[in-house]
Structure 1
């Protein structure tokens, strides 16, 4: 009964548009007090949830993405991709995806990608004659590559909660992220064929040379992050810190860094991290309650009684996560559901790394769907257009995203190939 009232309380607060962290924290505090537990225990639970060395990588990776935006790295990537694909018909659409892939190696956040690249890509595409809905939908959808491609912030959070190797999860995420890009490229190819008029441009070797020189410095960040982690030289947290320092030094070398830029980047990082850490603390309280109420055991008994097929289990989990991703922030879903669902997945013989990638891709699709869809609201803010118009542009691009989710669910070897190759 108490657990049911807790769930009802959280749902009602979410429907009332109360921020996720407080919608979870309020009913959880009421549960603690009604069951005779002190508020001190509740506060200790919150503190213990965020007092994690692996989670220190989250603000550092956010800082790398934010400072990259402030330094104009997105513009440099956009210029390079445009110069390289000048002769390709419909090149601005392909450049949209290519720039997102390049920025994803530094960002790890869909919101940073959508905010930084959306300001460049959508106006450029609409000026060239692309329909606004197509431009906005493609930009929002390609932004999902960032939280899947390492350094993925959701992957850092999942690895910390699941106590698995962040490097292994990073390696496992590379091919799914590239598949997402490939799916968007295929959709673009079909769209361009059906919509003639977006002709190729003359190729300029000098322009490409200048753009290549301008992009070489920023490409050092992903080399530090991925090479350091997968080569065993750094932990993810150390790699994030070194990459942050590298971006600051790069800004000084490029003469785009100033005290004002650094201060604004620090403020934005604190703002974004504050929201994430509050959610982590609230989810820690809820997780302790779920453990006390033996929810994991009850759910395991129900699911194992329903099916003993791992594939059916994964399909059920996908449906559950799609619904949760539409309604609740992805960070909260990971923190609350992983302690419950991961032991179940392992009991079905599913590798935790494979399960983590499925969960991340699934929940990132939720960033494009109302009512919570954070990327929707970021794109609406960047373009000054209504959210419903942005969503109408996104709908066609959900097909390749869901196709990738199905592929990685049915064929675990696609996900596990790279971690196995690297010896994780």
Structure 2
């Protein structure tokens, strides 16, 4: 029965995806079809409905819509512009300096907004026109923006790591948040190295020198925006409040800061809330669908069967990690991050722990893999948004992205096989 259930579940899922059925609907339909193999129709429908409701009946889950709201407030509140100016101060004198500013801006804004798509859109709109004026190729500027957009998904606060915490059985959110810092910074640094090499090759100049008075002003102007991360992450790590309470504080702080900056008015709030509801609705539908998918897998014993199948191939930890990385990289090319985390964590986490991997470290490995998928065709959302903002064709920007892909995969292997990169900060803070 397990083999038949697995064939029905995954075959129906991929067939539906092939016919462009939305991924959440594909998950729900394939899950129900598989449940019908083992349960009567009425029991299947009731069980499916109950599981989808209970799948989001969790206090920690409330952090996701709150962080989404905080990110949208920041995107509309003039915070992105101030972070770009701060990034100019940090990297303004390097070859291809505007691309480096874009990358650092994505790291800063992406971490605060929690969205690679928001980062790619916000930074791309600001930086692309500036880079074109300086004579940068569209493909070069678009590639730097796209490649660096997911860095903020690793640097906390990260909704993706919250989802992993829930599905992995309660892995510490504070530990995951701290574990994401160094890999996220390494992602951005890797992109900067590639951008530097390409800039030297193409002969791009540096930006004009910024005077010390202007530097001081830009730094001071950005401090209130940067202070948000210190408040939220510091409070969570110190145990002052939970991730959900930290998300609520982030919303309040972002609202007050945006009103102080006078970048939007109170009458804009209904549209901001509407956008929050739309994005949250998509995320929560994916989570409810994936909760049903997980139930079906547990009913049929698929995670254990797949784990045993993989372990039967090899028990060598290095080969197992390489195999899981390859599978996750492939999955990331056609599946959104949230459902991928929800579906494949229960399958791969037992394998990872069986060979001695820390659940916190493995969470970062999964996240890094799927972030690469976020900029990879055919489904990479940050790829399409970044290309659209820069007004370039996907096929032309892909050629410039190839060096980024190679460098990021090398960095993925480094993070996979050197656990202390991820675990240094959690261990330092006793998490």
Q: Which residue number corresponds to residue 281 of structure 1?
A: 288
Partner-residue secondary structure (3-state), 1:217 = helix
Q: Which residue number corresponds to residue 222 of structure 1?
A: 229
State the alpha-carbon separation in 1 of the partners of residues 332 and 93 from structure 2.
39
In structure 2, relative to structure 1, the CA distance for the partners of 1:86 and 1:347 (3 Å cut) is closer
Q: Is the 8 A contact 2:147 2:375 kept in 1?
A: yes
Partner-residue secondary structure (3-state), 2:268 = helix
TM-score with structure 2 length normalisation?
A: 0.94
Q: Is the 8 A contact 1:148 1:173 kept in 2?
A: yes
In structure 2, relative to structure 1, the CA distance for the partners of 1:348 and 1:330 (3 Å cut) is same
Q: Is the 8 A contact 1:368 1:394 kept in 2?
A: no
Q: CA deviation at 1:197?
A: 4.1
Q: Deviations over 1:117-145 (max 9, x none)?
A: 11111221122111111100100111111
In structure 2, relative to structure 1, the CA distance for the partners of 1:302 and 1:30 (3 Å cut) is closer
Q: Which residue number corresponds to residue 5 of structure 1?
A: 8
Q: Deviations over 1:205-226 (max 9, x none)?
A: 2322332232122112111111
State the alpha-carbon separation in 1 of the partners of residues 307 and 95 from structure 2.
52
Partner-residue secondary structure (3-state), 2:136 = coil
Q: CA deviation at 1:284?
A: 1.0
Q: Which residue number corresponds to residue 115 of structure 1?
A: 121
In structure 2, relative to structure 1, the CA distance for the partners of 1:196 and 1:393 (3 Å cut) is closer
Is the aligned partner of 1:54 residue 2:57? no
TM-score with structure 1 length normalisation?
A: 0.96
Q: Is the 8 A contact 2:60 2:244 kept in 1?
A: yes
Q: CA deviation at 1:109?
A: 1.3
Partner-residue secondary structure (3-state), 1:89 = coil
Q: Which residue number corresponds to residue 23 of structure 1?
A: 26
Q: Which residue number corresponds to residue 244 of structure 2?
A: 237
State the alpha-carbon separation in 2 of the partners of residues 10 and 235 from structure 1.
36
Q: CA deviation at 1:385?
A: 3.1
Q: Is the 8 A contact 2:96 2:205 kept in 1?
A: yes
Report matched runs for 1:36-51 at 5 Å: 36=40, 37-51=43-57
State the alpha-carbon separation in 2 of the partners of residues 274 and 30 from structure 1.
24
Q: Is the 8 A contact 1:70 1:261 kept in 2?
A: no
Give the one of 107, 110, 119 matched to 1:104: 110
Q: Is the 8 A contact 1:104 1:150 kept in 2?
A: no
State the alpha-carbon separation in 2 of the partners of residues 62 and 310 from structure 1.
37
Q: Which residue number corresponds to residue 421 of structure 2?
A: 414
Is the aligned partner of 1:80 residue 2:86? yes
Q: CA deviation at 1:384?
A: 3.4
Partner-residue secondary structure (3-state), 1:50 = coil
Q: Which residue number corresponds to residue 148 of structure 1?
A: 154
Q: Deviations over 1:373-419 (max 9, x none)?
A: 11122123323333323333322211221121010111111111111
Report matched runs for 1:55-204 at 5 Å: 55-162=61-168, 163-204=170-211
Number of residue equivalences: 424
Give the one of 263, 266, 271 matched to 2:273: 266
Q: CA deviation at 1:86?
A: 3.8
State the alpha-carbon separation in 1 of the partners of residues 331 and 154 from structure 2.
18
State the alpha-carbon separation in 2 of the partners of residues 86 and 299 from structure 1.
50
RMSD: 1.6
Is the aligned partner of 1:250 residue 2:257? yes
